Structure 1
């Protein structure tokens, strides 16, 4: 699809009815809702040709895989993607260079909570602030889509302790997302609304794509990630697989089991986003469709 909103397309048609064909690019800003920026985006999408959108892939896989929707123009302009994986006690991130599918940063950060006192909302914000300051700057940020309920899974869904932990994590995630979106001070020129640069991927996709989900239970990512690292001996042509430098491999292999698992979840989340939403790897998409059908 070309990069034009339905409301602008309607205005475009109304203008044509009243004024005739658009003859030059200088006519576009005369149409209500069109600025120099939106006119340029439309022209760029026409010149580059329509491409398959994430929504079309989503239809193949059944259901929405990413929220909010990711524009093709955003993918085209993107140079780096940072995936952030948040658990109650740690945050991991993976920074990928889009041009050559290389992991340029892969980190584990343990969260230290204040001891000997009840955790207040200001304590959580302080932790979220410190985490955000450590995160590399990127063009696109990716997280797993979190549950919209605080209820715990299992036989005791109203367990107060689990509900409290889920609430604490939800607060942490919300604050980090807000800080990431705000620190760039990015806004749309047209309506002044905050431009979202954080995208949420359906959480089960990495597990199904990489085989770390057995039934409804997740298994450790350790062996799966180790196989990926062994295959990552060099940069691939056509971005068919990720390249992890030796420094990153050595870092992963020296972590304890819990840290490896968290780092693994983060890497698999990142690779799933890159393969499905950025590179649109046909083999990966076909593999996922087969496993989810």
Structure 2
């Protein structure tokens, strides 16, 4: 008995080294309620699907990406699955989940590529709350804000169908102190609110959670808290602004942290680096894609000369904040409003 168990273990760990002819087990295991559930033909179809299709193809069926990753790892390590119940050996696969996965394979059309692409497309959610696709054509203007310890900056975009996006406003407000009393902070936020232009939607980067600084510095902790308070106050005020476009029920969206840095190639290692070179390229060359599809045209940016001068007149630190607010807004437009394919593909890399 011991020898039998030992030889079985060796076989499982190094199946590719053994010169053994393997055949599919189409006789279903009773663990999944077979053979009542699936015929031999259906079993062969399921095995062929999970053994031969890539992860993106399998994602059109009823299964999560994390479980598909485990299937991919198994196939690379051990080769093909020999029976339907063998998948139960993977972590995260129970009988209910596996039956649902197999049923979706049986009930779907083998060549339905259109359905597959639609399912894959639903995966990315770039904002919180999720920006509804149905609102994309209704948004005519957007203000993106970049909120830091020393400055609050914002950029306003006018969005017109089938034409390049236009930067119509770009400004900043200097925070007088990193350790303001709450009453002073309220006055600062009130001033900022008067300066931020009205728009259909407002976008800010999802903030990091305020927490105790390393080493327990009370000063650093208070600074982190002040930034969180500043973001919360500004977004509450913007949420309660009178909505000019009643077709848009929610007007404040938090863009995923660092997603703009990733899109524009300024996320190096685990840090965001300066955006100045990218912004200058946008201002000088009006970066846009060569083809003229509608989403590529709208992905392009038009910047009035007066706003270019405003950018150049600021000091380095303030210019960096202005640039970050510009990239946040462009990211929202390209991913959520226009759904630019090149931008979406960039984030998949």
TM-score scaled by length of structure 2: 0.59
Aligned partners of 2:243, 2:316: CA distance in 1, in Å? 38
What's the CA shift string for 1:207-232, capped at 9, x where partnerless? Answer: 11111111012211111111111121
5+ residue gaps, structure 1, are: 1-51, 190-194
Contact 1:181 1:197 in 2 (8 A): yes
- In 1, are the aligned partners of 2:281 and 2:287 still within 8 Å (CA)? no
Q: 2:334 matched to 1:271?
A: no
Greater relative contact order (Cα < 8 A, sep 6+): 1
Match of 1:202 in 2: 256
- Partner of residue 246, structure 1: 305
Q: Give the corresponding residue for 1:258.
A: 317
Separation in 2, partners of 1:121, 1:57: 44
Asked whether the 8 Å contact 2:210–2:228 carries over to 1, the reply is no
- Deviation string for 1:182-236 (max 9, x for gaps)? 12179x99xxxxx531100012111111111110122111111111111218998
Structure index of larger Rg: 2
Give 3-state SS (helix, strand or coil) of 1:211's partner: coil
Instruction: Work out the CA distance in 2 between the residues paired with 1:76 and 1:158.
Output: 48
The equivalent of 1:88 in structure 2 is 149
Q: Deviations over 1:9-68 (max 9, x none)?
A: xxxxxxxxxxxxxxxxxxxxxxxxxxxxxxxxxxxxxxxxxxx99x965725xxx42100
SS in 1 for 2:137: helix
C-alpha distance in 2 between matches for 1:75 and 1:202: 18
Picking from 130, 133, 136, the partner of 1:72 is 133
Paired residues of 2:126 and 2:335 also in contact (CA < 8 A): no
The question of 1:229 aligning with 2:283 is answered yes
Distance in 1 (CA, whole Å) between partners of 2:204 and 2:120 is: 21
Contact 1:233 1:243 in 2 (8 A): no
Give RMSD over aligned pairs. Answer: 2.9
Q: Which residue of 1 aligns with 2:123?
A: 59
Give, in whole Å, the separation in 2 of the partners of 1:185 and 1:247: 29
Decide whether aligned partners of structure 1 residues 177 and 149 sit closer, same or farther in structure 2, where only a CA change above 3 A counts. same
